[in-house]
């Protein structure tokens, strides 16, 4: 639970082995003893829960070693940090978010883990850290680019945490250290540092100083995983949530919303949100265990209660909710009852072999290769979790099934012959060949994503249980809420409803252009400094590429998509202004503009974009050669909100419409009155004036 262990599918094992062949084997420390035996030894994306108690001497530099909960309402005016989630359970086994550390900001992809109590990233001094890479989809191409390590010397705001009575110290008693060991035989250790953490341009919460881990060594799955590190959301003094709460900048709550079977991604909010009226809450006792537990009493399959004593879900650590675990794991008796109930309900479906030859998965063929996720409930039974107050959480099939589809595999050129025998489909090639492995299993098949937790009595509910579910961890009121929703749409709603920094609303009247040449001189963060908290309407970038104009022209759209992916923005935000030839090189001018749902670019995002390009932390494909950021500019947002910009026009239009309407109504009344006078009925005996005859014209 302290981190997400990913044992990949059979195809992904090949993927991992090929990747590791390209790297030297890291020295590893002796594996720690297993607290839990693995739930199964098959190669699949599963997580193991190492339930380590909180350390007696938590590694932190704060003088107050006890966390004081803020007595604030989740509906208070405290800002929150709204952050996008990436990846999915099937291909990655976890969800990640982007966190920026330092000044200028350095970006990292971190696994969001409610079972971890520390946030850490690889340090520049680490000689035993893996080559962490994030999969990037650029059009129809897939790219693997190595992420840089955190460089403390490049951050003007970094401070090491000096040895004190509240932390574990290094051998020289100079600096605070941390060390984490996990049940899947991986480990992380390093030093503690303090720096500015930024939460992205959708966040209301301004950057905050916080303590984090700078890794000096990692082993096992931590070494080979794609994500850079872990973002700890658990209970503990080093937790990001606890630090922000103790500072008083957020209320004592956070929320996660994982995408569904088809989409992935999702949203995360650090701080309070308005809970929907129909959100289902259950008690979460912080004294029961150091992890987020819920008061589970019953499980129903197709409306029928499983014949289980409710106490089975309260053994050992109880029922634990862990975002870093992929699947769900039940005690033996509960799993057997659940499995039998599912098989009984699906007796008409063909039971087939799973994707892992080393493990007997419980899989079924749906009979169709094109079943929509929304139609799965017509084939598979519903499942309900019943809590202590008899409130129920309805699980759709995507909350307990995983689809047998495809996995990613990457091969270096010298391993191409090996990969070619694995039934692959070629996608792209640079120095790294990227391919898709399609399973030869029955298409349209689904397997249970709930397993037996070996002989352990803890009930562990991982990410699959809360797909397309907003989960609110209301720590202040010791409860956890669940609300079924489309998490991809939830992010869009959060994206549209806010995200402006409180300090940025007072500026933006200055229309001057902030401009700076980019040089190689060491200037720290000052070369990216922006004057005040302006609302940025455009970032203009002049970039020199070491390829000629005729070669670049037909590939400019591909380059645009690549830049958007690398900078973590939408392709519609990247606009090509012009490009010219300079001998054998090209000079390209770009403009980065706000997204469609926003009116400005935050300073944090602007500095991140500029520093990524200026410090060559964006790795271009070899087809585009090398690049240099020659100059950058930022222009304040000169656009008023639509309501203000068109206020007078709207008022004038309304007045005109009212006048025209009244005039038309008056004209109609007059016309009707005249018609009645002309055509009114006259009795025969009534004398009427003679009509004067007009003389005929000769």
Rounded distance, CA 469 to CA 595, Å?
Answer: 26
What's the rounded Cα separation, in Å, for the pair 694 and 504?
80
The alpha helices in 408-555, defined as continuous H runs, are 416-419, 487-497, 549-552
- Distance CA(348)–CA(337), nearest Å, equals 19
Q: How do the residues of the chain divide into helix, strand and coil, expressed in percent and rounded to 5?
A: 20, 30, 45
Nearest-CA neighbor of 466 among 587, 596, 325?
325
| C-alpha torsion 641→644→649→651, nearest 10 | 130
Rounded-to-integer distance, Cα 309 and Cα 317, Å: 17
* DSSP character string of 600-614: -B-HHHHHHHHHHHH
Bridge partners (DSSP) listed for residue 352? 363
542 catalytic, yes or no?
A: no
- Verify whether residue 295 is a known catalytic residue: no
Residue from 412, 436, 486 nearest 137 by CA: 436
Q: Is 300 within 8 Å of 117 (Cβ atoms)?
A: no
Nearest Cα residue to 409 out of 386, 396, 427, 395: 427
Residue of 50, 48, 49, 42 whose CA lies nearest to 8: 42
Cα 249 to Cα 79, 117, 209, 472, 474, distances in angstroms: 7, 19, 11, 18, 16
- From the candidates 221, 228, 322, 456, which is the catalytic residue? 322
Cα gap 49→36, rounded to integer Å: 7
Q: Is 35 helix (H, G, I), strand (E, B) or coil?
A: coil
Say which of 87, 113, 252, 456 is annotated catalytic: 113
> Concatenated DSSP letters for 227-260?
S-EEEE-SSSTTSHHHHHHHHTSS-SEEEEEE--
Residues 6+ apart with CB under 8 A from 431: 412, 413, 622
Q: Which residue(s) pair with 543 in the sheet?
A: 588, 629
Catalytic residues: 113, 322
């Amino acid at each position: 639970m302290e981190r997400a262990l990913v044992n990949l599918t059979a195809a992904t094992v090949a993927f991992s082995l090929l990747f590791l062949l390209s790297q030297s084997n890291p020295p590893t420390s002796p594996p720690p003893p297993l607290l839990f035996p693995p739930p199964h030894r098959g190669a699949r994306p599963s997580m193991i829960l190492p339930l380590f108690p909180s350390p007696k001497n938590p590694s932190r530099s704060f003088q107050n070693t006890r966390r004081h909960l803020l007595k604030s309402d989740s509906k208070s005016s405290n800002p929150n940090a709204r952050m996008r989630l990436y990846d999915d359970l099937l291909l990655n086994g976890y969800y990640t978010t982007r966190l920026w550390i330092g000044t200028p900001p350095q970006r990292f992809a971190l696994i969001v883990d409610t079972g971890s109590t520390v946030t850490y990233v690889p340090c520049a001094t680490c000689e035993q850290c893996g080559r962490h890479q994030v999969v990037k989809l650029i059009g129809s191409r897939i790219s693997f680019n190595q992420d840089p390590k955190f460089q403390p010397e490049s951050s003007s705001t970094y401070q090491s945490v000096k040895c004190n009575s509240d932390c574990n110290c290094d051998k020289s008693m100079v600096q605070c250290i941390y060390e984490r060991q996990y049940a899947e035989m991986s480990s992380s250790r390093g030093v503690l540092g303090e720096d500015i953490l930024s939460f992205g341009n959708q966040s209301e919460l301004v950057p905050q100083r916080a303590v984090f881990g700078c890794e000096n060594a990692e082993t096992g799955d931590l070494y080979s995983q794609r994500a850079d590190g872990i973002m700890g959301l658990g209970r503990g003094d080093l937790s990001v949530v606890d630090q922000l709460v103790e500072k008083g900048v957020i209320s004592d709550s956070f929320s996660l919303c994982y995408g569904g079977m088809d989409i992935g991604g999702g949203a995360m909010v650090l701080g309070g949100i308005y809970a929907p009226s129909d959100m289902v809450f259950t008690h979460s006792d912080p004294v029961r265990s150091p992890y987020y537990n819920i008061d589970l009493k019953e499980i129903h399959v197709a409306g029928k209660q499983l014949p289980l004593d409710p106490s089975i879900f309260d053994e050992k650590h109880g029922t634990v909710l862990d975002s870093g675990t992929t699947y769900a794991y039940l005690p033996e008796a509960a799993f057997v009852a659940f499995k039998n109930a599912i098989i009984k309900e699906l007796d008409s479906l063909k039971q087939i072999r799973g994707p892992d030859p080393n493990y007997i998965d419980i899989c079924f063929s749906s009979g169709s290769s094109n079943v929509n996720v929304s139609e799965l409930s017509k084939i598979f039974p519903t499942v309900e979790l019943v809590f202590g107050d008899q409130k129920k959480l309805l699980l759709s099939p995507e909350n307990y099934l995983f689809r047998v589809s495809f996995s990613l595999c990457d091969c270096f050129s010298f391993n191409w012959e090996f990969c070619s025998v694995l039934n692959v489909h070629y996608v792209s090639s640079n120095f790294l060949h990227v391919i898709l492995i399609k399973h030869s299993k029955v298409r349209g098949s689904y397997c249970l994503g709930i397993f037996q937790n070996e002989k352990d009595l803890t009930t562990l509910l991982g990410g699959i249980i809360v797909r397309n579910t907003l989960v609110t961890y209301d720590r202040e009121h010791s409860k956890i809420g669940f609300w079924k929703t489309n998490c991809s749409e939830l992010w869009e709603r959060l994206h549209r409803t806010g995200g402006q920094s409180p300090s940025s609303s007072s500026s933006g009247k200055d229309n001057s252009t902030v401009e700076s040449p980019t040089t190689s001189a060491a200037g720290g963060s000052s070369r990216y400094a922006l004057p005040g908290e302006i609302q940025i309407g455009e970032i203009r970038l002049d970039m020199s590429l070491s390829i000629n104009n005729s070669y670049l022209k037909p590939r400019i759209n591909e380059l645009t998509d690549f830049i958007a992916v690398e900078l973590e923005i939408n392709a519609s935000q990247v606009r090509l202004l012009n490009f010219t030839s300079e001998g054998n090189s090209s000079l390209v001018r770009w403009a980065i503009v706000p997204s469609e749902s926003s009116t400005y670019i935050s300073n944090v995002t602007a500095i991140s974009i500029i520093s990524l390009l200026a410090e060559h932390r964006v790795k271009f494909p070899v087809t585009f050669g090398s690049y240099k950021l020659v100059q950058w500019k930022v222009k304040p947002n000169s656009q008023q909100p639509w309501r203000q910009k068109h206020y007078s026009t709207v008022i004038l239009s309304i007045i005109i419409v009212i006048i025209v309407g009244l005039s038309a109504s008056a004209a109609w009344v007059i016309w009707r009155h005249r018609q009645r006078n002309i055509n009114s009925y006259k009795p025969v005996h009534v004398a009427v004036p003679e009509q004067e005859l007009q003389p005929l014209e000769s």
